[in-house]
Chains A and B, each alone.
Chain A
């Protein structure tokens, strides 16, 4: 242990974590005015030390070694921060539940009507085991592999692997191509969310009016939900072709211009957004229609009697009551933009021109499968995983604070 030289001593890392944890818990204690200060400081410090160690200790603090580069050190501190985020949030949630005298853990069994008999647990194990086994072998173990492989230099076909600490991650910090891939994925999500969701909400609001033929309209509008991204990409490849495409034909007739949609730089990204919007709008309409039907009619009616205009009824009642659906759709649209656009881009632009439509997922495919660099591509996968975790937490946190659960 002594012969390893560190640029930052692991003990210092742990102490920093403990200090941050204690301060954060003291702040929470001051904010909530619930519980004892000493217990908060103690539990906060323990959670802080655990958070600092959570991701760094399994790698033997290698990123803080004296032989590592500056970027590895930065990755190390980012890992400390991520660990702290996890342990401090979890710890504070449990501690304040304890302070308030609430149950620490969910109730094990609340089901009336469960089957009696001595073999209930065995029976349950038998019916649950197919799902659990598949999840263990094909989800949890690959997740563990992904974590492990991301710290290795590994290639498909090469039997030997080498531990390279966090180099796969630290190289990302200066990899400008990867930055632009990530940026494209975020921009794509943003474009899809803004355009699709506003259009879908407008259309769903119209579908929700008591008009004749609403069912027929609905079938025609929801139906692109059944279309695969590959097919969406193929159709838009036809529509947006420079010479063959009907869009350019119309633009040519009306404005006398032809846009080289798929082969020039901002136009190619716009094409991907357009095709994605068309692909997901059915799903968005589907969920907004479902959401609008959960809104009690008498509420809108009484607001109407009180003289609220249609816009006021929408802004003050309908939209807030729809927020669970809005947050759900933000999450699914982001996941679509990050992962499912792969097939669409694969046929529409092949990631071109000059890699300008490479999303982060496309990069994982190119790095891992085409270039067979497993370590680097699993590290890129983990960045995607962090983003999924992030938006899920966003949905829970922001969603639960702002969502109205019908207690009007």
Chain B
């Protein structure tokens, strides 16, 4: 315990000067850097390895070459054109964006209705929404499928696919909590100015909620992009299938092992859009979860 207890928490530039040379050369908290570096290597290795394999031909995979192969464009062409992944990606984009936007709009509106109006039985309405958290879609899968296919007036299979997923107890809960932390003066002032609730929503609430909206959009987009089981059983037409379905079709004949390059190319292109969205909205995402120190 040579280090004084408080210097761990208080930044003190002079503290560094008085320390011996070897302590200045080795970074402070080297163990944290060591553990984090090892964790980063282990956690990112599978993805980098997939990226490497996506450029290789099968003999190169079996020889465990650690240099990029020659098959990058060949594999890309196989996956996008021959295995139709371009089409599946477009399908998933349409589905994921509809789900993310739809869920967010409906959750914002429901949050408004649960916070900014007075009516009897409000807690019943909230409980009615919240209790659906214990009924995950997978539990209802068979009954939902039976109910959805028994109706044949769907304008497009994607309406049947996305509409049941549009209500979000999580989203309603998050926006309700968020709106309740807003100072009541805001809506008082808006009312004095004669604003309607929707004007108040668009002019005041939404501009103050971009972090929450961004965080929720990331989660909802991932939810939509990662849909697999529900489209698998619902969509009959293979051309309408989603990217995760295309991905699993690339992973067929794994034992035969004649398709590792295209399969990993599939892994890369399937993972790119969510990772890009995650990186773009990372700041909102972290702030929405209060993950950054500066609030």
**CB distance B62 to A297 under 8 Å?**
no
On chain B, the residues within 8 Å of A281 by CB distance are 43
CA distance A217 to B167 in the complex (A): 35
**CB distance B116 to A113 under 8 Å?**
yes
On chain B, the residues within 8 Å of A342 by CB distance are 138, 228-229
Given A139-B140, A361-B138, A128:B109 Cβ within 8 A:
yes
The answer to the question of B191 belonging to the interface, with a C-beta cut-off of 8 Å to chain A, is: yes
**Interface bits A347-390 vs B (CB < 8 Å: 1, else 0):** 10000000000000100110011000010011001101100110
The answer to the question of B74 belonging to the interface, with a C-beta cut-off of 8 Å to chain A, is: no
**CB distance A384 to B139 under 8 Å?**
yes
A278 partner, pick from B46, B134, B147, B271, beta carbons under 8 A: B46
**CB distance B290 to A290 under 8 Å?**
yes
**CB distance B6 to A230 under 8 Å?**
no
**CB distance B143 to A143 under 8 Å?**
yes
**CB distance B248 to A230 under 8 Å?**
yes
On chain A, the residues within 8 Å of B200 by CB distance are 115
**Interface bits B145-185 vs A (CB < 8 Å: 1, else 0):** 11100000000000000011111100010000000101111
CA distance A347 to B245 in the complex (A): 10
Closest CB-CB distance, B67 to chain A, in whole Å? 14
**CB distance A368 to B141 under 8 Å?**
yes
On chain B, the residues within 8 Å of A120 by CB distance are 117-119
**CB distance B186 to A113 under 8 Å?**
yes
**CB distance A234 to B110 under 8 Å?**
no
The answer to the question of A305 belonging to the interface, with a C-beta cut-off of 8 Å to chain B, is: yes
B41-63: which have CB < 8 Å to A?
43-44, 46-47, 49-50, 53, 61-62
On chain B, the residues within 8 Å of A388 by CB distance are 134-136, 139
Main secondary structure on B side of the interface with A: helix
CA distance A120 to B113 in the complex (A): 9
Given A120-B118, A211-B33, A226-B222, A127:B9 Cβ within 8 A:
no
On chain B, the residues within 8 Å of A224 by CB distance are 43, 47
Given A217-B36, A343-B228, A364-B141, A115:B197 Cβ within 8 A:
yes
CA distance A106 to B114 in the complex (A): 14
**Interface bits A278-318 vs B (CB < 8 Å: 1, else 0):** 10011000110110011001001100110000000000000
Q: Which residue from chain B places its CB closest to the CB of A387 in the assembled complex?
A: B139
**Interface bits B10-48 vs A (CB < 8 Å: 1, else 0):** 010000000000000001110111011001100110110
Binds B, one of A24-32, A63-71, A202-210: A202-210
Given A115-B187, A127-B110, A203:B46 Cβ within 8 A:
no
**CB distance A114 to B229 under 8 Å?**
no
A231 partner, pick from B8, B35, B267, B290, beta carbons under 8 A: B267
Binds A, one of B75-83, B124-132, B206-214: B124-132
Size of the chain A interface, CB-CB below 8 angstroms: 106
Given A123-B117, A246-B49, A282:B43 Cβ within 8 A:
yes
Given A223-B278, A235-B46, A238-B263, A142:B118 Cβ within 8 A:
no
Report the number of A-B residue pairs with Cβ-Cβ less than 8 Å. Answer: 311
**CB distance A226 to B278 under 8 Å?**
yes
**CB distance A106 to B140 under 8 Å?**
no
B116 partner, pick from A115, A206, A290, beta carbons under 8 A: A115
The answer to the question of A227 belonging to the interface, with a C-beta cut-off of 8 Å to chain B, is: yes
Closest CB-CB distance, A87 to chain B, in whole Å? 17
CA distance A253 to B223 in the complex (A): 40
**CB distance B44 to A244 under 8 Å?**
no
A235 partner, pick from B47, B146, B222, B233, beta carbons under 8 A: B47
The answer to the question of A162 belonging to the interface, with a C-beta cut-off of 8 Å to chain B, is: no
A65-92: which have CB < 8 Å to B?
none
The answer to the question of A14 belonging to the interface, with a C-beta cut-off of 8 Å to chain B, is: no
CA distance A378 to B138 in the complex (A): 11
On chain B, the residues within 8 Å of A304 by CB distance are 5-6, 8-9
The answer to the question of A93 belonging to the interface, with a C-beta cut-off of 8 Å to chain B, is: no
Q: Which of A143, A287, A335 has the most CB of B within 10 A?
A: A143
What would be 9 A-B contacts, judged by CB atoms less than 8 Å apart? A108-B123, A121-B117, A124-B114, A131-B167, A229-B228, A238-B264, A304-B8, A364-B141, A381-B142
Knowing that A130-B106, A132-B129, A221-B43 are A-B contacts, what are 10 other residue pairs whose CB atoms are under 8 Å apart, sorted by A's residue number? A109-B120, A111-B184, A112-B184, A113-B187, A131-B106, A134-B167, A217-B40, A347-B248, A365-B141, A369-B142
The 5 closest A-B pairs by CB, nearest first: A113-B184, A138-B164, A145-B143, A134-B167, A124-B117
